[in-house]
A and B are shown apart, each in its own frame.
Chain A
Amino acid sequence: MSDPVSTMDGGLYAARQKIYPRDINGRFQRLRTLAAWVLLGIYYLGPWLRFGGRQAVLFDLPARKFHIFGLTLWPQDFYFLTWLLVIAALSLFFFTALAGRLFCGYACPQTVWTETFLWMERLVEGNRSQQMKLAKAPWTADKILRKSAKQGLWLAFSLWTGFTFVGYFTPITELARLIAHLDTGPWETFWVLFYGGATYVNAGFMREQVCKYMCPYARFQSAMFDRDTLIITYEEVRGEPRGARAKGVDHKARGLGDCVDCTLCVQVCPTGIDIREGLQYECIACAACIDACDHVMDRVGYPRGLIRYDTQHGLEGRPKRVLRPRTLIYATLLLGLLTGFLYTITHRNFVAVDVLRDRNALYRERPDGAIENVYNVKILNKDGAAHEFRVVGSGLPGLVLDYAGPTVWVGPGEVQAVPVRIRVPRGALAGGADIEVGIEAADRPELKASGKARFIAPSG
């Protein structure tokens, strides 16, 4: 407040005051720590998992195919990814309507990595007051040592994060070997540094500012809120008027509410807000203030829950509804999309065919009188193994196919174009007709696909 510029609009260059959230333990913080361990565990261990003799999850960009355990996705399967994104967005809507910003508090990478960085900061610099004291202290050897130890920890962790990220795109054992020999390619080096640098800046310095200034979800989540959405609230009626009191004093007789005004709820807040002011969009619903307040309520012997998860209806003493049109609609849509996705991905066809007419000639009459059309048949094999394909045709009497057969070899994930001559006896048709051209794997007949094409003959 001593800086007049910063009291205006934050000023153009005025440095923001750093928030030092006080460490707090409690049931919700244990839940968040558990969530962080699980999510970071999945992230950091993920690329090291093996499945069927190769990396279990590998988005092999150089080879243009994604391996996810037994599943291989080709660029042609791109719509699955779009589908997944829609499902993810809808899940976010559903959980937001149900329980508010669960994602922000427990699962958002920004929150999880910030918490991890805060943990490292505490490890080196001590608790909240020690950190604040250290920040004000002159640059002694101890301070330099602690600050550089913290930065070192942060940097090492960030680099490991970047390395893991790239390990999802390029085989991680190979990448580790290259790094050990300082022999990584320019792009691998770049992306490790890029992602590592982003982690370092986001989790080390920007922190809650990302939620406040950069996150679109923080701005539109209120559209999913209604009066039955779980939010973190302070029960004003019970708490106010707030004030300090001596132990054992009957505060109600003195006209005081249950809030002892210890400001612990503000000190633990990672975004620096006071939940007692009411619902604010800076609140990421981490529930640290609930744990802090419950702790204090226990100590002064008042019932827990002055700050708690509740709904607007709940606070007004009205019945709470979990099932309501909004949640039912989101749930139905989500279930439908998820079922459709799982069905399609398990029943998807591993081969596809594309039949193109040769544009150079409409038709050709052969010496024996037969009419011939030429096609370019593209066979796409999305299976993980190579197959020999037969090309078959139907749709006209006496139809004969002529191609470099009897079978065409197509490697895994490859496309093979096959020129195919199709002929019918003279008089089989006049003008044009639709025919069907199909392919089937000789070794696995269930791998088949077909496409329509136009057959053209002289009219009359």
Chain B
Amino acid sequence: MFRVSSGEYPAKLRWPRLGQDVAIVLWPSFLVASFATMVCFAFIDPVLIGNDDYPPPGFTTRMSGYAVGFFFFWLVASLSSLLTLYLVRTAQPEPPGPDETDANRVRSSE
């Protein structure tokens, strides 16, 4: 016999809501920022951005350029995550559709 649990994850083991929210905002944006940093600086040499008589702050050396780029991407992606989370959290609850099952549980075929 096989069964997919219908039980709830024990409440006492759950993370506080605030912790969940912080993680949901910061973590996916961290992953995306890492990826964006890789792609961006594979094509752009940060010192070329600063190759000027008045380089923008942070672009004077490659290492600081990478770091500034990474944190810029992280910030932008975090803002996007934050807005998404806000929209999801403040949405009006809707009755589940005909095909929707509890998305938190592993799907069982059949």
Question: A residues bordering B, Cβ < 8 Å?
Answer: 1, 6-17, 19, 61-62, 64, 75, 78, 81, 185, 187, 190-191, 206, 209-210, 212-214, 216, 222-223, 225-227, 233, 235-237, 272-274, 277-282, 312, 315-316
Contacts and interface: CB of A to CB of B under 8 A. Distances in A.
Contacts of A206: 23
Range, interface on chain B: 35 or more
A81 B35 CA distance: 11
Interface string B5-18: 11101111111111
A17 B13 contact: yes
A1 B67 CA distance: 45
A312 B14 contact: no
A64 B45 contact: yes
Nearest to A273: B9
Contacts of A17: 12-13
A16 to B, nearest CB: 5
Interface of B: 1-7, 9-20, 23-24, 27-28, 38-39, 41-43, 45, 61-64, 66-67, 104-109
Contacts of A212: 9, 15
B11 A7 contact: yes
Contact of A209 (B19, B104, B107, B109): B19
Contacts of A191: 67
A278 B4 contact: yes
B15 A10 contact: yes
A62 B24 contact: no
B102 to A, nearest CB: 10
B5 A278 contact: yes
A214 B24 contact: yes
A225 B106 CA distance: 9
Contact of B104 (A1, A11, A78, A281): A281
Contact of B11 (A10, A62, A78): A10
A279 B5 contact: yes
A282 B9 contact: yes
B16 A14 contact: yes
24 contacts: A6-B12, A6-B14, A10-B15, A11-B17, A17-B12, A64-B45, A75-B43, A185-B63, A187-B64, A191-B67, A209-B23, A210-B23, A213-B20, A222-B107, A277-B6, A278-B6, A279-B2, A279-B106, A280-B5, A281-B106, A312-B2, A315-B1, A316-B1, A316-B2
Contact of B12 (A1, A226, A277, A281): A1
A11 B15 CA distance: 8
Contact of A61 (B9, B20, B43, B63): B63
A19 B9 CA distance: 13
B4 A279 contact: yes
A213 B23 contact: yes
Contact of B17 (A12, A78, A214, A315): A12
Contacts of A14: 16
A426 to B, nearest CB: 42
Nearest to B13: A272
Contacts of A8: 11
Given A16-B15, A61-B62, A78 B10 contact: no
A277 B43 contact: no
